[in-house]
Structure 1
Amino acid sequence: MIGNKKLAALATTAVLSAMPLSALAQAMDAQAMEARMAQLEQEMQQMRDMLQAYQQRDAANANANANANAAAAPTATALDATRVAAPAAPAVVMPNAMPGTKFSFGGFIKLDSMYTRTSDGEIADGSAGRLFYFPGATPVAADGNGHSASYTDVHAQFSRFWLGADTITERGDKLKAYIEADMYGGGSNAFAGNEVITNTYALTLRQAYVSWNNWLAGQTWSNFQDVAALPDTVDFTGPSEGTIFSRQAQLRYTRGPWSFSAENPQTTITPFGGKGARINSSTDVMPDLTARWLTRGDWGHFTVAALLRNFRYDGHNESGGALSVSGKFNMGANDDLRYMVSGGAGVGRYLGFALGSDTVLDEEGRLHAMDGYGGFAAWRHAFSPKLRGNLVYSVAVLDNDTAWTGYEVTDKAQSVRANLIYSPFPKLDLGVELSHAQRRLENGEKGDMNRVHTHVKYNF
């Protein structure tokens, strides 16, 4: 305001000074006129300089006020900038990974506690039968002079973790890599430690494979096995003797409801005369071949699988084949029935954790495929969203030629179990299971096992 008043006063002075010019022009000579004009020009230049100075000062004041206002509200300015800014690009966790790859991780922690009583001897400490139900490990005294034994085992060896990587290429191809491991240690703690101090367990590779669209290459569940039909048990597998169970290296092709695979071959052999001995042979040439057909819907699923094998040992060959039918049938919202029936010549190591051998040697050293059959049925009922229970029966029967195998080999194994599993929170299971199992030899001798098994399991 002060600057404007001064500017007006100067303008008034200039006008008053200019008023007498017309009168004086007649009296003054040319020299006086020129002097007066020079004075006026000087005054006008002073006015221009002052006006420019005032304009610069006003502009500086305006900028200062704007900066002050901006500083007074920094939060609003930062918030507005955040709202309009584009999302930041995610950090590159694996710079060498294929673009667009999604990584995943999961697993579970599982504590198993069990009290076991056997009628005909003791299951070896640290062996698979002390960790979960292993039908071939149920003690049977061949001479009938067995003794009872009881023991408690607590372990966390079945705790598991897995890593996955999934990618869809620009062309739409689907790639997947998957690896999974636990601390089972192959069923023996002899080389990994003991329970005296640190309870050291060995890492066990379960699965490791890569898939590309319809193809899969690596180690995973056998295409001859229906994992989706396995019951909901506290034990690692539950109805082991009646279950097709195998993980191994393979090449698999899947198209629609059909899948085919060529899998790692391995032959188990009962020597002539038996006496409980077994030979493992890796001299096979032809891979184990499988084919599977699957259908599924809201009602559950149903599948049929076939297995074709060729055995070689000490210059002799034999062939075998087996079938497996399995599935799950939903009975309303709270119940389902799961089942499996399998059998054939040379099914051996695929059934019941290799309860029987694939082949047997006769007195001349020739191979013969051994017949075996097994199955299970499991009923699952949900009492509430947090409480469920299962009732399971399983059996396996081996058709031994006792002239070659002798009478000290397994003829039949069966088990029954019932459990309750409570989930107080999502992904946390607290379970208790009662089971009774029996193994019988060809000579008629039997051994029983009773077990109370509890677990705490948290999935992540």
Structure 2
Amino acid sequence: MPHQPTLTRGLVASLFGSACLLAAPVLAQTQIETLEARIAALEAEQAVAPSQTGFAFNTVDSLGDFDQIGQRHGLGRLSFGIADTTTLTIYGFIRAEAFYDFDFAQGDLSRAGRVGDPTFEVDDSEFDTSVRVSRFGIRSNTDTSFGSVATQLEFDLFGSGGDQSQSPNLRLRHANLRVTSGNSEVLLGQFWTNFMPLVHYPTTADFNGPVGITFARVPQARYTYRNNGLELSASLEESAGGDNSSDPVFTAAAFYGTDLFSVRAAVLTGTFEQGGDEFDTNGITLSGSVNPWEGGSVGLTLTAGEGLGNLLIGGGARQVGGAENESESLTFEFRQDISDALSAGIAYGLEDYDLATTGGLPGGFDRLESVHVNAFYSPIDALTYGVEYIHIESEGPLDSAEADRIGVSATLRF
């Protein structure tokens, strides 16, 4: 089961005590003892509730939106009340990364489509750094008579234009409104596609992660029903990847989870336009994970369909020569928590296309494979160091190529 760190008594006591001193400069000894007892009780519950006069760090991400490191180590966030029924949360992280690329330069993240492309070939190795994965966001949550109303606005530094290395531009990641009443929830705005098995996404320091899994944020309208570990959802979404379409894409998904295992199935159907012609896109994703022993987890995701290249990490062509490109893909992951602060894992990915995608290799590629081997160390809850080795192979009708990357990162969450 993924590691969820707890707040240390010293950190909570310091933060809570500082907030209370702002509200009341002088506290009697008996009041201090009462506060200490209350803090101990809150620590036992592994949660700190926000108040209007103070603030608290919360490791629970109620929207289910987390980065790869955040899956393992939790996202720190600063919450405070701005009204009797409204809480505002500021969250995010700063990440500094350094890479050595061998054979082919990939940039800020692993790009399987570049492997084999002479434009990105390097003689020996190439060193690069990045802070573009860093992000920040603001959330609000308001309690009403019929349920809760939540908003999210989140950005990272992957915007186009500008100096990509030293002065990157902001890019919108999420902008949505979520209304929850009882077991039902309605989401309007931009968020992860419902077709993507976010809960089973492999843990990597690399922004992309292994090939073989879907990854996209799209404008959408989604309905979700939850009850006793069961989650059913359906959405109408804009086609990802900038393709024109006069119709929305429809998705539906079912999830069930316990402490021991979880499974998810999702389907997608719709159309897209390229070169003035309309094509079909259809797909199915089956994913699951199991925790066979303490601290260990095994996950598997299978995806198949046509016209799915815009959603897959490898980015294969959706259509080739006027025909929809069919694909089959998978990802596999094994992780183990070695201690409360240290974890390690390996993730494998595969994408296999019926038709070769022009680019990358001479003659194009129709098969991609990748392996991510990594370890994360968190000396404190908010700080995580990562080290990762990545190997990518690209195959096509005429040629094949491979590339390696070694990267290190430091992530400080707030």
The one-letter code sitting in structure 1 at the alignment partner of 2:86 is: T
Structure 1 unaligned segments of length 5 or more: list them: 1-77, 84-88, 124-128, 268-279, 362-366
The question of 1:151 aligning with 2:126 is answered: yes
Equivalence for 2:318 = 358
Question: Displacement of 1:255 after TM fit?
Answer: 1.6
Aligned equivalent of 1:136, options 88, 113, 116: 113
The one-letter code sitting in structure 2 at the alignment partner of 1:253 is: Y
Residue pair 2:92, 2:135 contacting (<8 A) in 1 also: yes
Output the CA distance in 2 between the equivalents of 1:110 and 1:205. Answer: 18
Aligned equivalent of 1:117, options 102, 105, 121: 102
Aligned equivalent of 1:456, options 399, 406, 410: 410
CA gap of 1:98–1:308, structure 2 versus 1, over 3 A, is farther
Equivalence for 1:210 = 177
Equivalence for 2:367 = 412
The one-letter code sitting in structure 2 at the alignment partner of 1:208 is: A
Output the CA distance in 2 between the equivalents of 1:200 and 1:193. Answer: 5
The question of 1:179 aligning with 2:142 is answered: no
Equivalence for 1:390 = 345
Equivalence for 2:219 = 249
Residue pair 1:337, 1:378 contacting (<8 A) in 2 also: yes
Deviations 1:64-92 (A, max 9, x none): xxxxxxxxxxxxxx989x99xxxxx9579
Question: Displacement of 1:174 after TM fit?
Answer: 1.4
Alignment of 1:2-401 (within 5 A): 90=52, 100-118=85-103, 122-123=104-105, 129-141=106-118, 148-169=123-144, 171-186=145-160, 191-193=161-163, 195=165, 199-213=166-180, 214-239=185-210, 241-256=211-226, 257-266=231-240, 281-282=243-244, 284-313=245-274, 316-353=277-314, 355-361=315-321, 367-400=322-355
The one-letter code sitting in structure 2 at the alignment partner of 1:115 is: Y
Question: Displacement of 1:182 after TM fit?
Answer: 1.1
Larger Rg: 1
Secondary structure at the aligned position of 1:457 is classed as strand
Structure 2 unaligned segments of length 5 or more: list them: 1-25, 32-50, 56-81
Deviations 1:222-243 (A, max 9, x none): 000011112221211321x211
Question: Displacement of 1:99 after TM fit?
Answer: 5.2
Greater fraction of residues in strand:
2
CA gap of 1:434–1:315, structure 2 versus 1, over 3 A, is closer
Residue pair 1:140, 1:440 contacting (<8 A) in 2 also: no
Residue pair 2:216, 2:240 contacting (<8 A) in 1 also: no
Question: Displacement of 1:320 after TM fit?
Answer: 2.7
The one-letter code sitting in structure 2 at the alignment partner of 1:352 is: I
Question: Displacement of 1:412 after TM fit?
Answer: 0.7
Secondary structure at the aligned position of 1:233 is classed as coil
CA gap of 1:105–1:369, structure 2 versus 1, over 3 A, is same
Deviations 1:400-433 (A, max 9, x none): 179xxx9822111101121121111222111111
Greater fraction of residues in helix:
1
Residue pair 1:325, 1:340 contacting (<8 A) in 2 also: yes
Secondary structure at the aligned position of 2:168 is classed as coil
Secondary structure at the aligned position of 2:381 is classed as coil
Identity of aligned residues (%): 24
Equivalence for 2:74 = none
Question: Displacement of 1:345 after TM fit?
Answer: 1.4
Output the CA distance in 2 between the equivalents of 1:401 and 1:178. Answer: 39
Output the CA distance in 2 between the equivalents of 1:235 and 1:79. Answer: 48
Output the CA distance in 2 between the equivalents of 1:426 and 1:329. Answer: 25
Output the CA distance in 2 between the equivalents of 1:117 and 1:209. Answer: 40
* Number of positions where the alignment pairs a residue of Structure 1 with one of Structure 2: 333
Residue pair 2:356, 2:364 contacting (<8 A) in 1 also: no
Equivalence for 2:4 = none
Q: Please, what TM-score do these two structures have when normalized by structure 1?
A: 0.67
Residue pair 1:109, 1:159 contacting (<8 A) in 2 also: yes
Question: Displacement of 1:158 after TM fit?
Answer: 0.8
Output the CA distance in 1 between the equivalents of 2:187 and 2:269. Answer: 20
